[in-house]
Amino acid sequence: MINDEAPTALPVRDEAQSVRASVVGRIFIGLLILAFAGVTGLFAPLLVMASDSCNEGDARMICSAGAQQIVGGLPVAAAFVAALLAVVGMGSRSAAGWGCLVAAPCVLVVSWVVSLGIAGA
């Protein structure tokens, strides 16, 4: 006995689910931030070499030991924090993930501005 009123089977789709543009964009932006963090962590501490021309009694800010420690350590710490923010931003699908991706380059830019300000003053 054949039941003509039986529901038909749903068609099988062979299409793979496409990657959303926001995921690709978030990963691309995160990788750019990681590259910027790497450049900051490697090269910004070299601004300490601005103190090479310091003489005894020099009043420039870079000539103090505290300022040299800030110029040497701040970019490394900022690069580490920015890399963490970038990884969290790439992995999160919420609005907080985008917030991390926006905050990371801001941290890096602030470290560059402060370091260049001290080294150039």
What would you measure as the largest C-alpha separation in the chain, in angstroms? Answer: 106
Rounded to whole angstroms, how far apart are CA atoms 85 and 97?
8
For all residues of the chain together, what is the average pLDDT?
A: 84
Beta-carbon-side half-sphere exposure of residue 105 (alpha carbons within 13 Å) = 10
pLDDT at 83 over 80: yes
Per-residue pLDDT at 97:
87
Per-residue pLDDT at 10:
67
Q: What's the domain range around 110?
A: 22-49+61-120
Is residue 4 situated within a structural domain? no
Query: How many other β-carbons are positioned within 10 Å of the β-carbon of residue 91?
Result: 12
Is residue 12 situated within a structural domain? no
Is residue 8 situated within a structural domain? no
**Domains in the chain: how many in total?**
1
Q: Ramachandran region of residue 57, left (φ > 0), alpha (ψ -120 to 50) or beta?
A: left
Is residue 92 situated within a structural domain? yes
What's the whole-model pTM score?
A: 0.76
pLDDT tens per residue, range 11-26: 666 555 555 767 888 8
Rounded to whole angstroms, how far apart are CA atoms 112 and 94?
29
Rounded to whole angstroms, how far apart are CA atoms 31 and 45?
22
pLDDT-based confidence at 121, cuts 50/70/90? low
pLDDT tens per residue, range 37-67: 999 999 888 888 877 788 887 788 888 888 8
Q: Ramachandran region of residue 13, left (φ > 0), alpha (ψ -120 to 50) or beta?
A: beta
Q: What is the CA radius of gyration of the chain?
A: 26
